[in-house]
Structure 1
Amino acid sequence: MCRWLAYSGTPIRLEELLYKPRYSLIDQSMHSRQGVETTNGDGFGVGWYPVDGPAEPALFRGVGPAWSDANLREIARSTVSPLFLAHIRASTGTAVQQTNCHPFRHENWLWLHNGSIREFAKLKRDLVLAVDPRLYASLAGSTDSEVMFHLALTFGLRDRPVAAVERMAGLVEAVGRAHNVDNPLQMTVATTDGDRVWAFRYSSEGHSRSLYYSTETTALQRLYPDNARLQQLSEESRLVVSEPLADLEGAWQPVPESSYGVIQKGADELGRFEPAAP
């Protein structure tokens, strides 16, 4: 399917995570170790916020493989951000086109997804009709992921993010049952308003795609005092990834099945994710 990462913390160059680690996101686009597909070459995208505070994020997306895009490399080595999302895509059936590449953006929000809505073509009409008419015009592509984003916005993502995503998941499952589609939803999702990051791991069958979060920075700095990159990060720095970027013992914690997490100033949160039936 896809691979992604979400970073929040000390401003860093995008290349520090996209290119430099041993198992960087660019490496995973060619040699994913935990994905359904080894190769994720059906487009890519990165969305980032400016250093001087939350605002509408910048977005760069392409339809080719991430590993060969010279413009992505230029942007990654010259752009510094305290919060960014990045995604490499393996299509589950929809077209390879720029409007289908993640992250998706609406005002100050970004959204990306790994997984699928099973038999999406059969469920699509009912799901799209549930999108708020005021948001419908901003549906630009043809993916299930973008529809999921607009449903979450419809259900109050801007005010109650966890509840909105739970309502979105509940609707997908209800529509799936109505059309006799077993286990319709598979997802790991990251979304952000430029201040906090929410991450979700859930699937209807209870066997979700891989997802990890980084151990607290201060603990990692004690474990690896000679690692210059770690020593430069603040205690608020945190990373969520589809699969680890490096083999550092103790650096990665698996996100539990059917869970959500919130990266924010102060204490982060980890809670139970429970779809809400419509």
Structure 2
Amino acid sequence: MCRWAAYRGEPIYLEELVTSPAHSLIEQSHCATKAKTATNADGFGIAWYGDRPEPGRFRDVLPAWSDCNLKSLARQIRSPLFLAHVRAATHGSTRRDNCHPFVNGSWSFMHNGQIDHFDRLRRPMESMLDDEHFNARAGSTDSELLFLLALQFGLRDRPIAAMAEAVGFVEQISRHLTGTARVRFTAAFSDGRTLYAVRYATDAHAPTLFAAPMGGKGGYCLVSEPLNDETDTWVEIPAGSAVILDAKGLDATKFEPASEPETKVERMAEPAMAL
């Protein structure tokens, strides 16, 4: 399972989440405490917003703790909104295109979790994409494909609803093709203005998500696990929740996957069943 951290608020240096805290993201890359795997060494990435609509991005396949460029960038870059991720691969080889965050236009996305039976679901998931989104696929992970599905379903205009439709579609396709469905999904995504996060699972094991104020003037960070031992500071976001962090502050609401009519799901799955 991966680890990630995201921030929105007054501009701060990336190092305040990535390298400086006692349990920073780099520390979590080799010593995570709230994940099945303590080591997250299959690459890393950061996406940050500045003066342009599109985020800057830096990714590599090295373990985060061994990359001196990451430490240098985190010390020099200040941003009002950024996403950072260290990867423990479940689907997709260790290569740069499979490292989070994924970017499409002004949108960025990163994910911790997995989709069971992805090898059987990949093709019907891809078949839902139009040419624009299909051709934007660079890697081979379930995470990137789920991001592109959400974009296809309208993420730019209705972020939480589109993500709920994407997750619901995957669950229904999985039940139709395999008889079961298990999605574990804790993700952060942003258009450069608002930071969104979702914590959800079909079972009782949703990957963790915590929030804490940071940076002053309404700034918050969202993380897979707390960055320090100040337990009173960190609030665990319940499973089945969506978080919206904007200029007004942090708000949490219920997250529930949206379902398509069963006949429509069967029709969408037909090409995959013909293989």
- Give the counterpart letter for 2:93 in structure 1: A
- C-alpha change, 1:272 and 1:68, in structure 2 (3 Å) is same
State the partner residue of 1:260.
242
Whole-Å Cα distance in 1 between the matches of residues 32 and 197 of structure 2? 20
Partner of 1:240: 222
Measure, in 2, the Cα distance between the counterparts of 1:2 and 1:14: 19
- Deviation for aligned residue 1:15: 1.0
Equivalence for 1:224: none
The answer to whether 1:178 aligns with 2:176 is yes
Paired position in structure 2 for 1:66: 64
Structure 2, unmatched stretches of 5+, are 261-275
Tell me the residue number matched to 2:201.
Answer: 203
What secondary structure does 2:150 align onto? Answer: helix
Q: How does 1:201-240 map to 2 (within 5 A)?
A: 201-214=199-212, 216=213, 233-240=215-222
What SS class does the counterpart of residue 165 from structure 1 fall into? helix
CA apart distance, 1:181: 5.0
State how far apart, in whole Å, the 2-side matches of 1:73 and 1:168 are. Answer: 35
Q: Which amino acid aligns with 1:248?
A: E
**Structure 2 partner of 1:251:** 233
Which residue of the partner structure matches residue 221 of structure 1? none
DSSP 3-state at the match of 1:128:
helix
1:126: how far off?
0.5
Structure 2 distance, partners of 1:267, 1:6, is: 14
Q: Which stretch shifts more, 57-66 or 7-16?
A: 7-16
Q: Secondary structure at the match of 1:83?
A: strand
Q: Does 125-134 or 37-46 show the bigger shift?
A: 125-134
Residue correspondences, number: 260
TM superposition shift of 1:235:
2.3
Give CA deviations for 1:220-258 in whole Å, capped at 9, x if unaligned. xxxxxxxxxxxxx32221000000000113111111111
Taking a change above 3 Å as real, the CA distance of residues 129 and 88 of structure 1, as seen in their structure-2 partners, is same
Give the letter for the 1:265 counterpart: A
1:29 alignment partner in structure 2: 29
Whether 2:43 is the aligned partner of 1:43: answer yes
- CA drift of 1:104 comes to 0.2
The Cα of 1:13 is off from its aligned counterpart by: 1.1
Kept in 1: contact 2:2–2:85 (CA 8 A): yes
Equivalent pair of 1:40/1:89 in contact (CA under 8 Å): yes
Q: Which residue of 2 aligns with 1:229?
A: none
Partner of 1:6: 6
Structure 2: distance between partners of 1:267 and 1:4: 20
**Quick check: 2:172–2:181 contact (8 Å CA) kept in 1?**
no
From 144, 148, 160, the counterpart of 1:162: 160
Deviations 1:117-161 (A, max 9, x none): 111111100011111222111100000000000000000000000
Give runs of aligned pairs for residues 125-136 of structure 1, distance below 5 A.
125-136=123-134
Q: Which contiguous aligned blocks of 4+ residues in structure 1 show a shift greater than 3 angstroms?
A: none
- 1:175 and 1:193 mapped to 2: Cα distance? 28
What is the root-mean-square deviation of aligned Cα atoms in Å? 1.1
Assess if the C-alpha contact under 8 Å between 1:30 and 1:39 holds in 2: yes
How far apart in 1 are the matches of 2:140 and 2:37?
21
Distance 1:164 1:141 in 2: 22
Cα shift at 1:207 = 2.3
The answer for the alignment partner of 2:99 in structure 1 is: 101
Aligned to 2:253: 271
